[in-house]
């Protein structure tokens, strides 16, 4: 067990109960997310616009050094979903200020693990209270826009909540789901075949490199160009990603999802395997369920931060709500 693992365990008194944190419960967070997007019916509260895909996962010979999980060390089938951030299912793909997402499930021999990744290495809030306040500050007022003074005051009092937005704004428009780097922003305790436990962060990198558009070219793109691009690249056999494990060091901020690990981009990684996307699921079958962040096969543990603890409940709430809305339509 690494020094950083021991350090976090000494600071953690046990899992955070989302229902014990006053108004900042998962239900309130889902309500706020829906309000920001204008309460569209029958869609996810976040990453509402997306496309289901299928593929395969091939492990590397290095994966057992990191985890004994069968879902990362054996060949797996892949069910996935590429998406565009926010709760608006009509958000244009040319909006570079929203995240791109890639959620996927690795399945092998009756076991499965879900990973939810996005095009930024950090989350926008450290605690549930902060997350709820961040979202509520962005709920439109009568004129259809957030209260600028309220938003400014919150950002000044919580500067770490701007880390994600600044990262996204500094990068050009993603030109393809297949050419985007994705991160799972949490720190996951991983147990290898020798019984050693250490924290890792998951990173998904496109095998063919990143694909972006400068601003002067982005204006000529269609609002939904990402789906056509994905279909063409799948047909050409060009949608492959390496799944990496970034390895921890003593003192890493494993409890703060708004902060990157020091020198995170330069430190050692292990290639766990390669994901190849082979088809778009035109039936959109993955939309009838969720990718559950708490669904992790033995060998990968749940991150200890309170944002992760709340995500399972929030996703279940969002699924139940959109299911009711679809059935009542």
pLDDT tens-digit readout, 280-322: 999 999 999 999 999 999 999 999 999 999 999 999 999 999 9
| Mean pLDDT of all residues in 31-42 | 97
| Mean pLDDT of all residues in 270-283 | 97
Q: Which fold has domain 3-328?
A: Catalase HpII,  Chain A, domain 1 (2.40.180)
Residues 79, 108: contact at Cβ < 8 Å? no
User: pLDDT grade, residue 10 (50/70/90)?
Assistant: very low
pLDDT surpasses 70 at 35: yes
pLDDT surpasses 70 at 5: no
- pLDDT at residue 23 in the model: 52
Domain ranges of the chain: 3-328
Q: Which two tokens stand for residue 248?
A: 């921890």
pLDDT surpasses 70 at 61: yes
pLDDT over 70, % of the chain: 93
pLDDT surpasses 90 at 225: yes
- pLDDT at residue 238 in the model: 87
Q: Which two tokens stand for residue 180?
A: 């985007």
**What is this structure's pTM?**
0.92
Residues 253, 259: contact at Cβ < 8 Å? yes
DSSP character for 172? P
Residue 251's region, left for phi above 0, alpha for psi from -120 to 50, else beta, is left
SS3 299: coil
Mean pLDDT of the chain: 92
């Amino acid at each position: 067990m690494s020094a950083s693992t021991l350090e976090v365990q000494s600071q953690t008194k046990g899992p955070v109960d989302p229902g014990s944190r006053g108004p900042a419960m998962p239900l309130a967070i889902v309500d706020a997310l829906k309000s920001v997007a204008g309460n569209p019916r029958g869609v996810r509260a976040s990453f509402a616009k997306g496309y289901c895909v299928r593929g395969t996962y091939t492990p590397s010979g290095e994966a057992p050094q990191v985890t004994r999980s069968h879902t990362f060390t054996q060949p797996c089938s892949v069910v996935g979903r590429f998406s565009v951030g926010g709760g608006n299912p009509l958000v244009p793909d040319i909006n570079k200020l929203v995240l791109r997402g890639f959620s996927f499930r690795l399945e092998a021999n009756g076991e499965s693990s879900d990973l939810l990744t996005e095009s930024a290495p950090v989350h926008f809030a450290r605690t549930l209270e902060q997350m709820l306040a961040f979202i509520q500050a962005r709920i439109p007022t009568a004129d259809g826009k957030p209260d600028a003074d309220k938003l400014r005051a919150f950002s000044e009092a919580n500067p770490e909540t701007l880390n994600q937005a600044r990262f996204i704004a500094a990068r050009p428009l993603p030109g393809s789901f297949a050419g985007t780097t994705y991160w799972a922003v949490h720190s996951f305790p991983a147990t290898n075949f020798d019984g050693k436990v250490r924290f890792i962060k998951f990173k998904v990198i496109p095998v063919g490199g990143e694909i972006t558009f400068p601003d002067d070219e982005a204006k000529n793109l269609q609002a939904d160009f990402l789906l056509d691009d994905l279909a063409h690249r799948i047909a050409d056999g060009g949608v492959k990603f390496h799944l990496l494990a970034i390895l921890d060091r003593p003192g890493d901020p494993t409890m703060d999802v708004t902060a990157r690990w020091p020198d995170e981009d330069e430190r050692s990684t292990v290639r766990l395997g390669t994901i190849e996307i082979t088809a778009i699921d035109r039936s959109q079958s993955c939309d009838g369920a969720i990718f559950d962040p708490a669904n992790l096969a033995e060998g990968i543990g749940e991150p200890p931060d309170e944002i992760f603890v709340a995500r399972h409940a929030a996703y279940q709430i969002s699924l139940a709500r959109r299911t009711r809305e679809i059935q009542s339509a």
